[in-house]
Amino acid sequence: MPEGSALIRSCNEDFQVVEQLGFEPEGEGEHLFLYIRKNGENTDWVARQLARFCQLSPRDVGYAGKKDRHAITEQWFSVALPPQRKLNWNLFGGDTIEVLKTVRHPRKLRLGALQGNRFGLRLRDVSHPDELATRIEKIRSGVPNYFGEQRFGQDGGNLQKGVELIRGERKERQRNKKGMYISAVRSWCFNHLLSQRIAEGRWDQLLAGDALMLSGSKSCFLAEDIDAATQQRLVSGDVNLTGAMWGRGEPLNVGASRQWEKDQLAPWEEILERLEHLGLRQERRALRLQPIALEAKAESENQWWLEFELPSGAFATSVLRELTQVTKPIQDTAE
């Protein structure tokens, strides 16, 4: 746990996110992609405004990922707008929303269809600048890949609702909310496995039967035996240990690794069984998150600017928690 503290999100300019789509729109098709910069606006709210401006159903608007509200963010949206319909995009938005680019594509932009994000974060009132500088160098090799607190909702509300939903104690008609609550339960189970592995000193040590994920990809393979060459690949960052994202089907890991995960999650066996019955398939997630192109600059003795890239599904808060204890003057209502 870092000794030092720092202030984040003093203003929207202190938290910036640029979406990295990972592919180029093709330039023609029935969907118009819009690259939008927004300042302090909710992704879903912008999507609804787009639907209203285009006189379309909200179902005809797509985006790849939700971004923090208390920030300046750039991201792609899509609208199902035939080429013959011409709109003046200078009339859309206002002081907090700007359309930077438009280009056509044959298909709607789907949630999750992005490569990652580049973050720019300003830390103010840094209490231990020397410790921060040391920790910045240390995290280049990776940090625990926790799901961030925003996944679980304010005061863990999403997690509680997810447990109630799975147990049949709650009904939820809205599909997106139902998915969000169930996702919170799966994410908590993963975080628990990661925390236990760290507590036992195993988060960078192989267990027989571990499922390893190649860095920069989702491809996994089994380490059925512990050998020096594979352990060295793990230490070097070429491969990462993984943890279960629970669902239907056989876990990819085997032997001692599978038994260890089963033992850690044994108190929640009923919840796990109900998750399987929901039809979610068994998946793996890397235990280690490696910030890409990490840059840090001291703007003054107690103020720092950080930039780094993270893959889709990773949380900037997982990086920050390893650097300093953060305080937020603005209530965090990240999506």
Residue 68 annotated in active site: yes
Does one domain contain both 58 and 166?
A: no
Whole-angstrom Cα distance, residue 257 to residue 255? 6
What count of Cα atoms within 13 Å lies in the side-chain half-sphere of residue 210?
26
Confirm whether 135 is domain-assigned. Answer: no
Least reliable range by pLDDT among 113-117, 222-226, 283-287, 306-310 = 222-226
Does one domain contain both 208 and 277?
A: yes
> Of the residues 14, 44, 68, 155, which is catalytic?
68
Does one domain contain both 169 and 82?
A: no
Confirm whether 172 is domain-assigned. Answer: yes
Work out the widest C-alpha separation in the chain, in whole angstroms: 62
Q: Total domain count for the chain?
A: 2
**Which structural domain, as residue segments, surrounds residue 162?**
143-289
Does one domain contain both 85 and 194?
A: no
- Note the pLDDT of residue 280: 85
Does one domain contain both 272 and 161?
A: yes
Q: Which 3 state secondary structure label does DSSP give 197?
A: helix
- Note the pLDDT of residue 333: 39
Provide the Cα torsion 298, 334, 62, 289; round to 10°. Answer: 60
Confirm whether 334 is domain-assigned. Answer: no
Does one domain contain both 238 and 150?
A: yes
Confirm whether 125 is domain-assigned. Answer: no
Any idea what the CATH number is for the domain that residue 299 is in?
Answer: 3.30.2350.20
**For the chain, how many residues are written?**
335
- Write out pLDDT tens, residues 108-155: 999 888 999 999 999 999 999 999 999 999 999 999 999 988 889 888
Q: What is the DSSP string of 146-180?
A: PPPGGGG-GGGHHHHHHHHHHTTS-----HHHHHH
Confirm whether 242 is domain-assigned. Answer: yes
Any idea what the CATH number is for the domain that residue 160 is in?
Answer: 3.30.2340.10
Phi, psi of 77 (to 5 degrees): -125, 160
Q: What is the mean pLDDT of residues 194-219?
A: 93
- Note the pLDDT of residue 173: 85
Residue 176 pLDDT > 90: no
C-beta of residue 165 within 8 angstroms of C-beta of residue 181: yes
Does one domain contain both 167 and 278?
A: yes
Q: What is the DSSP string of 56-91?
A: --GGGEEES----SSSEEEEEEEEE--TT----GGG
- Write out pLDDT tens, residues 263-296: 999 999 999 999 998 878 999 999 999 999 999 9
Least reliable range by pLDDT among 8-12, 151-155, 180-184 = 151-155
What count of Cα atoms within 13 Å lies in the side-chain half-sphere of residue 182?
24
Q: What is the mean pLDDT of residues 4-10?
A: 94
User: Percent of the chain at pLDDT above 90?
Assistant: 79
Confirm whether 332 is domain-assigned. Answer: no
Strand partners, 72: 16, 39
Range 111-114 contact pairs with CB under 8 angstroms and sequence separation of 24 or more: 111/62, 111/63, 111/64, 111/65, 112/64, 112/65, 112/312, 112/313, 113/21, 113/22, 113/64, 114/19, 114/20, 114/21, 114/22, 114/64, 114/65, 114/76, 114/312
Does one domain contain both 163 and 280?
A: yes
> Tell me, what amino acid is at 230?
T
Residue 335 pLDDT > 70: no
Does one domain contain both 100 and 171?
A: no
Confirm whether 74 is domain-assigned. Answer: yes
Residue 172 pLDDT > 90: no
Does one domain contain both 169 and 207?
A: yes
Q: What is the mean pLDDT of residues 6-16?
A: 95
Confirm whether 16 is domain-assigned. Answer: yes
- CA 184 distance to own-chain centroid: 12
- Note the pLDDT of residue 224: 81
Does one domain contain both 44 and 162?
A: no
Measured from the Cβ of residue 5, the count of other Cβ atoms closer than 10 Å reads 15
User: Does the model's pTM come out above 0.85?
Assistant: yes
- Note the pLDDT of residue 156: 86
Does one domain contain both 112 and 163?
A: no
